[in-house]
Amino acid sequence: MLIDIHCHLDFKDFEKDLDSVIERAGKAGVKAIISAGVNTESNRKTLAIAKKYPLVKAALGIYPSDALKMKDSEIDKEIAFIKKSKPFAIGEVGLDGTYPEMEKQKIVFKKFIELAKELDVPLIVHSRKAEEEVFDMLSAMNAKKVVVHCFMGKLSLAKKIREKGWMLSVPCIVENSTQFQEMVKEINATHLLTETDAPFLAAEKGKRNEPAFVKQSVAEIAGIKGVSAEEMEKMVFMNYQKMFMAGKRNYSVF
């Protein structure tokens, strides 16, 4: 009952062998893969992939750096498209401190927080080098269904995220990242999900990541928590159901 709540199956890295990637995920025991769009073209490809493969669910959004390249009218048009599509989740959206024009990023992020609340679907959030700003915006807007993906901020802030009832998704690099290992140790299992961010963040440097590899991550997390891999799988699956499946009346068939 493995879950990959964040990856990018529409990226060129998977063009030649996506069928095999999905097949390997299924054989590994993956029950759901949430693939996230990052711009106009990516969102449409993600929808097409979700329609083709029952295992895949579509999250739609605009990545911070992509939003900076778009006109305000283009952003609003894409948000209208996303709303009409009724995605499984909103993502990948958020703030990124490595890019300029933080104020524009915040304006766009606010629109997506509002959209996720309106559609009553989870928000999958990017927060690189802007963790405090993301937390403050989500708190101020009273966001409820939040998954902070690949969180690299302070442990004290991770605990605040947990206290809000939000969840943190753990990438495959937990196998060799002391920061993620410490976060897993300190955060209740009831607030943890698993992701790959495929094709990125494979445990083995330089290797293409894919959804099947969450199996290794669960084993690592289980070891840190002192439970069996099977028990950890069940806990992550329950967290997925709680975050993504509760009150799913507004979700699309994907």
Share above pLDDT 70 across residues of the chain, in percent, rounded to a whole number: 97
Q: Where are the domains of the chain?
A: 2-250
- pLDDT attached to residue 254: 37
- Tokens 């410490």: give the residue: 182
Q: What is the pLDDT of residues 23-56, one digit of tens each?
A: 999 999 999 999 999 999 999 999 999 999 999 9
- Domain 2-250, what architecture? Alpha-Beta Barrel (3.20)
Per-residue pLDDT at 192 exceeds 90: yes
Per-residue pLDDT at 106 exceeds 60: yes
- pLDDT attached to residue 251: 43
Residue type, 245: M
As a whole number of angstroms, the distance between CA 77 and CA 73 comes to 6
User: What are the Cα distances from residue 41, in Å, to 33, 61, 66, 103, 245?
Assistant: 20, 11, 11, 24, 27
Per-residue pLDDT at 253 exceeds 80: no
Q: Is 3 exposed, middle or buried (0-12, 13-18, 19+ CB in 10 A)?
A: buried
Confidence of residue 246 (pLDDT cuts 50, 70, 90): confident
Per-residue pLDDT at 167 exceeds 80: yes
- pLDDT attached to residue 100: 85
As a whole number of angstroms, the distance between CA 109 and CA 102 comes to 10
